[in-house]
A and B are shown apart, each in its own frame.
Chain A
């Protein structure tokens, strides 16, 4: 690299590290959240079925919200 390798390779290296690092961080955080979401939804459903005192309308409410999917306006 005409003797400039000491600058060129670190430049590409930094770019690679930053971009791959950001990508890995994004994927990892996404996985963590999906896992937590799956756990919450599973436990949420079982909790409601177990408590016999929960009136039916509340259960319906939960299901409608889930039907609407990830609607941020739901809350």
Chain B
């Protein structure tokens, strides 16, 4: 536990030192969402109809941005080899990195999403569902992203490659996340969709660190 907390502190310190990274991801999110009215037209009816999807797609893309750096600097300076050989489980280390990534990227995305929903005339009744879905969904994005980041270590074009690999795997999060928002927007209960997201999160919590750790081991082999 102490090791776990120590790793989280280290990751947070590193992430906050490169605070601009998180800010860049957020700005990217805002820019992407802003492009949609420019591309689709400002008609409130249309924007409201697509607001759920756009807010989620933007979040997905923004979450992808910092993924390739999740393990990269450790890989390059050799500290990843040490972490792989360390006495505590590599899976916990991965979990700690995911948590740090989420705190620095996913959480800000989640907090800003209702504001972006506002820009797209999203029904105000959907905001709570949006926050809840984002709270469940963004950690899943960090977890799946960690697997992708571990797989592309040392690969050419790792940045684009990790997005190509991870985005198809995040389709369920997108579908259930948007479904929750749209259900709430028309006055239906978003709970079934939120429960599905919760189930995905519960499944991802043990499985993704395990897969990512396997990928890290074969990367440092």
Judged by CB atoms under 8 Å, the answer to whether A and B touch is: no
Q: Chain B: residues with CB nearer than 8 A to chain A?
A: none
Residues of A near any B CB (own CB < 8 A): none
